[in-house]
Amino acid sequence: MKRFWRLPLAIGGIGAGILGSARIAYAHCPLCVAAVGAGILGAKSFGLGDGIVGLFVGAFAIATGLWIARKVKARFNLIPFQTPLIVALSWLVTVIPMLGLSNQLLYLPVFLWGPTGSLFNQVHFLSKFLLGSALGGIVSIIALQAHYAVKAWRGRVFFPFQGIALTVAFLVIASGILFMAWGG
């Protein structure tokens, strides 16, 4: 029993050695990822609903996926459509495990045709978090394309950190729309 302290100390030492020997990562957009991560924490701390938190989580997943894809592409360009696959995988790996934390549902009544209980004649319940995450990913990609369009049109950016500012502005506008539509 006296030697029990050696195992946690050894595991901690190995972990510290691995972290200490890691190379510095020069990320594509670490400030974008940090800004979206701060948005997630801010939305949850202000008590906003799962839809808005999902919006920022989806944007965070896309930003992280683009960041990783750029680093992988710089070293390995192995398969066609590598960047979209990495971004989609990043979104799935980030959003799907978090679905269990969400308990707010949005109901979608669909009464078009067919017998009662069929796909087009029933009420569907959808996770606000999942819908917000999908919307956050789409808004994040639109903001990135807007940044590239402004940069191509002018030949350079209007101001420093324009990409971050556009992404955050688009996400704030989208979260305002979601708040008005779903109440969070």
Instruction: Report the amino acid identity of residue 69.
Output: A
In the numeric block, which tokens belong to residue 116? Answer: 């009662």
Question: What are the tens digits of pLDDT across the range 71-95?
Answer: 887 677 778 888 889 889 999 988 8
Place 184 in a pLDDT band, splitting at 50, 70 and 90: low
Q: Which two tokens stand for residue 173?
A: 């506008």
Work out the mean pLDDT of the chain and round it to a whole number.
77
Helix axes 162-182, 128-154, angle to 10 degrees: 150
What is the rounded distance in angstroms from the CA atom of residue 143 to the CA atom of residue 73? Answer: 22
75 CB-near residues (< 8 Å, 6+ apart): none
Q: What's the pLDDT tens digit per position in 150-169?
A: 888 888 877 788 888 888 89
Can you say how many angstroms the Cα of residue 9 is from the centroid of all Cα atoms in its chain?
35
Q: Judge contact between 107 and 131, C-beta under 8 A.
A: no
In sequence order, which residues have a C-beta less than 8 Å from that of residue 104 and are 6 or more positions away? 49, 50, 51, 127, 128, 129, 184
- In degrees rounded to 5, what are phi and psi of residue 109? -75, 125
- Nearest Cα residue to 30 out of 60, 73, 75, 74: 60
Nearest partner of 48 among 125, 142, 132, judged by Cα:
132
For residue 32 the two structure tokens come to 């974008």
Give the H or E element holding residue 107. Answer: strand 105-111
Each residue of 91-146: pLDDT tens digit?
Answer: 998 888 878 777 788 888 888 887 887 778 888 888 888 999 999 999 999 998 88
